[in-house]
Amino acid sequence: MQLFDVYPLYDITPVKGEGPYVFDEAGTKYLDLYGGHAVISIGHSNPVYVDAIKNQVEKLGFYSNSIKNPLQEELAQKLEDLSGCKDYSLFLCNSGAEANENALKVASFHTGKSRIIYFNNAFHGRTSGVVAVTDNESIKAPFNAKHEVTKLAFDDVEGLEGELKKGDVAGVILEVIQGVGGLDEASTEFYKAASELCKKYKAVLIADEVQSGYGRTGEFFAFQKHGIRPDVISIAKGMGNGFPIGGILIDNSIPARSGMLGTTFGGNHLACAAGISVLDVIKEEKLMENAAAIYEYVKERIAEIPQIKKLKGRGLMIGLEFDFEIAALRKELLFQNHVFTGAASNKKLLRILPPLNIKKEHFDTFFEALKIVLK
Ligand SMILES: Cc1ncc(COP(=O)(O)O)c(C=O)c1O
């Protein structure tokens, strides 16, 4: 059986990882400044993470969510401690799209309404609504039947109020920093207004922190810089350092309803063990502080490269906007200089999402490679 064609594949086969590096079959070492789309948060094969998974699989790898799993409680407590997000409840699932599916469902169940607002250039996942074709009315929210959505301009407070006023909006979903879209961030006024307007018109504000969360921006969540409190927060990617795990934090003012959410694999023992070790390493090694410090270093160094027109993002969610389309540059960085970087919908933007324990010297290597390629 052949594999279904999903992404265009680069002709490299990594077989081993170590910290910020991956190695191919021939032993060639690559600097990973992309972390497999922001997934590798504490480095490849981090020993704390490896031990946590090994120890757990020797004890119990999986049992269903119909039994108590103390590892879920430990994960939730550590997540609260490190993020500072109090009075939320955690629902665990397996991926970012699944987290957002559940977030939309929570918004719709809670409000009894069916319309969701999203923004230009947003990216929230690739699934397409299986509850709609599940013959069990008790787990369907109004949104699941209708899939009514409205797209608005990012940063447009007036437009948002105009839609919310209509009274049929269940939720507003946004990325505080748009990842795939190209690292755009709206103004603090916009996020504050979105938060207040959602309260006023009784809609649920969903912050999709799947890419920007887990310390990547230098704060645990990107929204924290803007001083808002979303009703629901989606998480995944960096949460498991490669082990599939996602989740939503749901404000405790939104009551749980029997049957509303559920999953077979979500929050299983192995995933939780991986997730706990990630939080431990982020805390012990002060990786949020590192993310913020490295950003400052990158800011200094880009002055040496006139082809870079703009630095976007925060912390280790970095976008370098060039004055030309970067597809060829990315390929050359990878094949000639052995540095992994990422792209975005904005074709001139190089996306850099390295492990959070990356060091200045790794960026030195990157900037040297960049200068060679740009010569
Ligand atoms: C902001 C955001 N939300 C959701 C997703 C979807 O996550 P997943 O691929 O784990 O389903 C992504 C993936 O890139 C993302 O960047």
The mean of the pLDDT values for the chain is 96
| Distance from residue 306's CA to the centre of ligand 1 (Å) | 32
Closest by CA position to 276, among listed 105, 42, 39, 104? 42
Three-state DSSP at 345 gives coil
In the chain, helix, strand, coil percent, each to 5?
40, 20, 40
| Distance from residue 195's CA to the centre of ligand 1 (Å) | 22
8 Å CB contact between 115 and 169: yes
8 Å CB contact between 172 and 186: no
Query: Containing H/E element for 206?
Result: strand 204-208
Structural tokens at position 287: 């990786």
Residue nearest to atom 3 of ligand 1 (CA): 124
Report the half-sphere exposure of 258 (CA within 13 A, side-chain side): 1
**Interval 283-323: pLDDT, tens:** 999 999 999 999 999 999 999 999 999 999 999 999 999 99
Residue nearest to atom 9 of ligand 1 (CA): 96
**Interval 146-164: pLDDT, tens:** 899 999 999 999 999 999 9
Three-state DSSP at 24 gives strand
8 Å CB contact between 155 and 190: yes
Q: Name the band, by pLDDT with cuts 50, 70 and 90, for residue 9.
A: confident
Ligand 1 binding pocket includes 44 (Cβ within 6 Å): no
8 Å CB contact between 352 and 341: yes
Q: Name the band, by pLDDT with cuts 50, 70 and 90, for residue 8.
A: confident
The CATH 3.40.640.10 portion of the chain extends over 48-284
The topology under which CATH files domain 286-349 is Aspartate Aminotransferase, domain 1 (3.90.1150)
Ligand 1 binding pocket includes 354 (Cβ within 6 Å): no
pTM: 0.98
- State which of 185, 211, 217 you would mutate to test the pocket of ligand 1, scoring each by most atoms of that ligand within 8 A of its C-beta: 211
| Distance from residue 209's CA to the centre of ligand 1 (Å) | 9
What is the widest separation between alpha-carbon atoms in the chain?
62
Residue nearest to atom 4 of ligand 1 (CA): 124
Looking from the CA of residue 127, the nearest atom of ligand 1 is 11
One-letter-per-residue 3-state SS of 28-65: CEEEECCHHHHCCCCCECCHHHHHHHHHHHHHCCCCCC
The predicted structure's pLDDT at residue 87: 98
**Domain range 48-284, its CATH number among 3.30.420.40, 3.40.640.10, 3.40.50.2300, 2.40.30.20:** 3.40.640.10
Looking from the CA of residue 237, the nearest atom of ligand 1 is 10
| Distance from residue 96's CA to the centre of ligand 1 (Å) | 5
As a whole number of Å, the CA-based R_g of the chain is: 21
Three-state DSSP at 350 gives strand
Closest by CA position to 187, among listed 227, 238, 217? 227
- % of the chain exceeding 70 in pLDDT: 100
CA distance linking residue 78 with residue 247, whole number of Å: 14
| Distance from residue 124's CA to the centre of ligand 1 (Å) | 5
- State which of 7, 98, 123 you would mutate to test the pocket of ligand 1, scoring each by most atoms of that ligand within 8 A of its C-beta: 123
| Distance from residue 200's CA to the centre of ligand 1 (Å) | 29
The predicted structure's pLDDT at residue 258: 78
The CATH 3.90.1150.10 portion of the chain extends over 286-349
